[in-house]
Amino acid sequence: MARPPRLGGKLRAVRLPLLTPRLLLRLPRTSDVPLLLRFLNDPGVFRPLFTRTRPLRRRDETEFVAGAIAGAKQGAKLSLAVTLRESGALVGGVGLEIRDWENGHGWTGYWIARPYWRRGYGSEAVSAVCGTAFRTLKLHRIDATVFEFNARSAALLRRLGFRREGGAREVARKGGRWVNEKAFGLLAREFRPFEVRNHGSASPKA
């Protein structure tokens, strides 16, 4: 198996892939592009995203993959593919951008493909990235923003300990209407790592 590229700059302390009970988080590859396009071109997935506002073309995703690899090598940001440990299937994406190293301040964004919703994968992936941000990179806080209509994403953030800190009105036009955003913040000391329910219970100890 090809070795994962080494992360650069201040991200070099991070060892990829990140492993959780059910997930493996790795850098995206060009071979992921067809699935990324299929999953991200679902309006239920791209409409709530801030960074992807319209249906994507193959070129967008190819550039995204190249940017993720370059960003990781430069130590600027971590954009990871979320895959299942068991099968290797790609199920989503999660990112961490360090906005201010001096004050230990990062930002996260994430998505899970519709066929995999409501299994806890989103919480598990964001929890892994927050754990790495606080334990390995020693960040102090992580920001996340969600559109007001995105109750599921707000619930995910609250589950991990994020608190509502504010918001902004009419930040984007979605489906022909202006929408407000809610701002959430998580301090290192408030982080509640996600616990997968019933994991491994299928094979109880003798």
Residues contributing to the site for ligand COA (CB under 6 A): 45, 48-49, 110-112, 117-123, 146, 150, 152-153, 156, 196-198
Our CB check for ligand COA shows the closer of 10 and 178 to be 178
Looking at beta carbons only, is 16 or 124 nearer to ligand COA? 124
Closest to ligand COA by CB, 7 or 20:
20
Closest approach of ligand COA to the CB of residue 6, in Å:
29
Answer left, alpha or beta for residue 107, where phi above 0 means left and psi between -120 and 50 means alpha: beta
CB of 49 to ligand COA, least distance (A): 6
| Number of other residues whose CB lies within 10 A of the CB of residue 147 | 20
Helix/strand/coil for 53? coil
What is the nearest approach in angstroms of ligand COA to the Cβ of residue 200? 10
- The helix/strand/coil state of 96 is strand
**What is the nearest approach in angstroms of ligand COA to the Cβ of residue 21?**
9
Q: How far is the CB of 112 from ligand COA (least distance, A)?
A: 4
CA distance 30 to 106: 26
Pick between residue 71 and residue 109 the one whose CB is nearest to ligand COA.
Answer: 109
- Least gap, CB of 44 to ligand COA (angstroms): 6
Residue written as tokens 């219970």?
A: 201
Given the complex with ligand COA, which of 7 and 145 has the nearer CB atom?
145
Rounded to whole angstroms, the Cα distance separating 180 from 7 reads 35
- Phi and psi based region of residue 144 (left: phi greater than 0; alpha: psi -120 to 50; beta: remaining): beta
Nearest alpha-carbon partner for 194 in 100, 120, 142, 88:
120
Q: Which lies closer to ligand COA via its Cβ, residue 59 or residue 197?
A: 197
Closest CA to 71 of 31, 25, 132, 11: 11
